[in-house]
Amino acid sequence: MTDTAHAPGLSRQQLKTLALASLGGALEFYDFVVFVFFATVMGALFFPADMPQWLKLVQTFGIFAAGYLARPLGGVLMAHFGDLSGRKRMFMLSILLMAIPTLLMGLLPTYAQAGVLAPILLLVLRIMQGAAIGGEAPGAWVFVSEHVSPRHRNLACGSLSLGLLAGILLGSLVARAINAAFDEAQLMAWGWRVPFVVGGMFGLLAMILRRQLHETPVFAELQQRRALSAELPLKAVVRDHAGAVALGMLLTWLLTAAVVVTILMMPTFLQGMGVSRDAALAGNALAVLAAMAANLVAGTLADRFGAGRVLALWSLLLGVAFWWFYREAQAGEYSQWHYAIAGSAVGLTAMIPAIALGGFPARVRFSGLSFSYNVAYAIAGGLTPVLLSLAMKDNPAAPMHYIAWMAAMGVALGLFVEWRGRNR
């Protein structure tokens, strides 16, 4: 294969590819997650005024979750053509499918203007976003991993994960800027539309950036040797790689816990504990910055010492740091810096895709990763916001307990990967 398997380091072209892919991923992921930073505002605008606040939040997170539930369909379809027609083509298509609904969200009528039609339209657009992101994340991980040697795979996936987290950070910073620029009346009247319109523009910029990228050497060689899958790629995945699918799903479950709870939902949870919106978003920004840096560190260490070992270590960090931070916040001692330490545990997102995609051969790699990742994310990522919101009615510490269980599973998965590697 010409996948630079024996390359001693990253070339200038490979570094450029990682940078452009990461930047494009950041702009697209911003489009997907900016919704959650305005969950409270969207709940007030798109549901009846007399609805209880907790029910508005549950329904708003339900619409947010619909994006996750739509991921498998979009992911499987784009992965199918990505394995047969090329990684880059699907890389470009996913941006277009994300930018359009994001822009339209900023132009939607509210419940006061259109009644029940407003949340229905919001739901439809959120489903369209979900279909797009279903192909984006796994496609991007496959794309960057096939541009470097296997010995740099964790770092490559970590750099892409850094880019996706940068999209979350961008959403947090835009949310802070909007809250600082507008008073409550302006925000509710029209200010909430700005981040979605800006997001649509970000999507177009990402499309321009990705036009500079080249097809992966791995796919190009498969195409040249006429070694592409001779049957439906997903059929081969389910029939021949069930073990890799199961491992990919468990790893994705861990990833959703780290990202959805620690990064996406915590600003809303913190506001429920009495923390101001500005302080919650400031802490979130620090947490995302820490997670971005941790992805590069964890990816580098995983390439050197083994992905299983580093995954176990980072999972342990997730459990301990989040427990400490959440208990302090509940006791009224919220610390933005302690939130940053908890955020650094999200560095495990460097190893998870690298381990998962390594279980599939190149000809069905996109379909294998996309299927296991998106199905698991649709279930775990889609249901977690709703179920945790409901559980917190009776148990305010539910997120802390959930992360503790997920961290224990992460340690077990890391040790299993290490054991499997030694016994191959």
For 265-291, the DSSP string reads IHHHHHHHTT--HHHHHHHHHHHHHHH
Instruction: Indicate the residue type of 186.
Output: Q
How many beta carbons lie within 10 A of that of residue 23, not counting itself?
Answer: 17
Tens-digit pLDDT profile for residues 354-370: 999 988 888 888 888 98
Give the separation between CA 370 and CA 361, rounded to whole angstroms: 13
At a CB cut-off of 8 Å and minimum separation 6, what does 91 contact? 21, 24, 136, 139, 140, 143, 210, 213
Q: What is the pLDDT of residue 8?
A: 53
pLDDT of residue 227: 59
Q: What is the pLDDT of residue 230?
A: 61
Residues of the chain with pLDDT under 70: 1-9, 54, 64, 68, 85-87, 223, 226-231, 424
pLDDT (0 to 100) of residue 118 = 87
Q: For residue 374, what pLDDT is reported?
A: 87
Q: pTM above the 0.85 mark?
A: no
Closest Cα to residue 143, out of 403, 411, 362, 378? 362
Count of residues in the chain: 424
Say what the pLDDT of residue 104 is: 92
109 DSSP 8-state letter: -
Domains of the chain: 12-422 (1.20.1250.20)
Tokens of 415: 């040790």
